[in-house]
Amino acid sequence: MLEPLFRAYPQHPGIPHYLIHAYDNAELAPRGLPAARVYSQIAPSAPHALHMPSHIFTRLGLWQDSIASNLAAREAAHQQGDTGEELHAMDYLVYAYLQSGRDTDAAQVIQQLRSMSKLNLGEFKIGYAFTAMPVRYAVERRQWAEAASIVPATEAPPQVAAIAIWARGLGLARSGRAREADTVTESLRQIEVQLRTAADDYWATQVDILIREVMAWSAQARGNPDVALALMREAADQEDAVEKLPVTPGPIVPAREQLGDMLPGQNHPGLALKEFETALANAPGRHGALQGAARASGLSGQK
């Protein structure tokens, strides 16, 4: 419906916006690239229009394009006093920096985040970005002690708090502290029940996936590889079947990528490579998946 309108009204600012949302999934993202390339030129003073192309750039692993998009969006949002849009752009910016190996630049954005005051963390868009950025920074860099020290903001919505709690559980489990990770799992279960009771099935499902991931790494730490693989495969299959919300670039670390990360430790580098290939088909250019695929390829004797 939108593509003929886009051709007929190429300067209409709403049409490319909706096209980008329509194509913001793994299967259709390449078809969204024309709209992404022109949208910022149609509405160059609108922070959201400057940011929106990065939804497609993120799907396709075009990190430098995403960085440019979100630097412009952040600056425009800051000038206009739009804090939610500024943090939204910063979150996508941190994500793109980390995928590009630009950890120092990501750290600088997070330092700037910590200097911002009077943030309404109870508002989902602001609370999500504020929580996700330091979680991304710790987990993407595999700094498990740093991840284990993360605590959620008291005013964060439950589905946002769950991300910080998951990071702590992941950090504990991957540091070999499985018993402490079990406590985190129980906290996540309480949030899942809370969300189910509120009929928020989307986020309840996302929290259920986070629970399985923490449990899987805890099982791995306890020396139960079969249980660990079963749980992580369940999480990956469940996650692959659910689309993300527009406000997020995607999971902090896709479960499929974590499955690939788990398999070499169980002497299955060939299987790990296949999982990383699937993960990269779903989310091209992710730094962790590329590194994991390279390690698994070397361990399995493949080029």
Nearest to 68 by CA among 42, 33, 97, 31: 97
**Could you identify the residue written with the tokens 């695929």?**
293
Helix (H) or strand (E) holding 272: helix 269-282
The residue whose two tokens read 């997070």 is: 110
Among the four given CATH numbers 1.25.40.10, 2.60.40.10, 3.30.413.10, 3.30.1180.10, the one describing domain 1-118: 1.25.40.10
Q: How far apart are CA 207 and CA 210, in angstroms?
A: 5
How far does CA 239 lie from the centroid of its chain?
Answer: 12
Q: Is the pTM here over 0.85, yes or no? A: yes
Model pLDDT, residue 243: 84
Q: How far apart are CA 13 and CA 299, in angstroms?
A: 50
Tell me how far apart the alpha carbons of residues 199 and 185 are, in angstroms, rounded to a whole number: 21
Q: Phi first, then psi: give them for residue 273, nearest 5 degrees.
A: -60, -40
pLDDT at site 303: 67
Determine the 3-state secondary structure of 252 from DSSP. coil
Determine the pLDDT at residue 292.
96
- Convert 219-256 into a string of H (helix), E (strand) and C (coil): HHHCCCHHHHHHHHHHHHHHHHCCCCCCCCCCCCCCHH
The pLDDT of residue 218 is 98
The Cα 153–Cα 233 span in angstroms is: 30
Residues 13 and 176: their CA atoms lie apart, in Å, by 51
Q: Which two tokens mark 268?
A: 């299955």
In the chain, which residues have pLDDT < 70?
303
> Which contacts (CB < 8 Å, 24+ apart) does range 122-125 have?
122/155, 122/156, 122/157, 123/84, 124/157, 124/159, 124/160, 124/247, 125/84, 125/87, 125/88, 125/247
pLDDT of residue 109: 98
Joined together, the tokens standing for residue 108 give 């600088």
Say if CB 235 and CB 220 are below 8 A apart.
Answer: no
**Taking the mean position of all CA atoms in its chain, how far away is CA 203?**
14
**Predicted pLDDT at 245:** 78
Q: Which of 80, 44, 73 minimizes the C-alpha distance to 58?
A: 73
Contact 66/100 with Cβ under 8 angstroms?
no
